[in-house]
Amino acid sequence: MAGFVKVAQTGDIPVGQMRGFEIGPHRFVVVHTPDGFFAVVDECTHDSAPISDGRVRGNEVMCTRHGARFDLRNGAVTHPPAIVPLETLEVKVDSDDIMVLLD
């Protein structure tokens, strides 16, 4: 399973939306922003709420449980109460396929 894994096609996730995936032990969300596709672990670092239940604004995702916000490009916290960055996963788009790097 290690390596880039195809998870969806580009047309499956419109800009401003995201979709959660569970592949083996990995649970992550792929988000389509104006800057492209990003993938982060589907769990807020503050209180473990699913990021996939949150909202996307530009290149940020907001966890709706307590309002923590993260920059999807690098996982950095942009708004408390979270302190620890979100873990990001490498994404590449191969023709129309969205591929996510899983270890």
Contact call for residue 27 and other proteins (CB under 8 A): yes
| Residue 34 sits in the site that holds other proteins (CB under 8 A) | no
Residue 65 touches other proteins, criterion: CB under 8 A? yes
One of 3, 11, 25, 34 touching other proteins (CB under 8 A): 25
Find how far residue 79's CA is from the centre of its chain. Answer: 17
Check binding of 42 to other proteins (CB under 8 A): yes
- 3-class SS at 73? coil
Q: Does 20 bind other proteins (CB under 8 A)?
A: yes
Interacting span for other proteins (CB under 8 A) from 9-17, 18-26, 70-78, 88-96: 18-26
Rule CB under 8 A: say whether 82 interacts with other proteins.
no
Query: For residue 68, what are its two tokens?
Result: 């923590």
Length of the chain counted residue by residue: 103
Report which secondary-structure segment, H or E, holds 37. strand 36-41
Kindly state the tokens that stand for 19.
């979709």
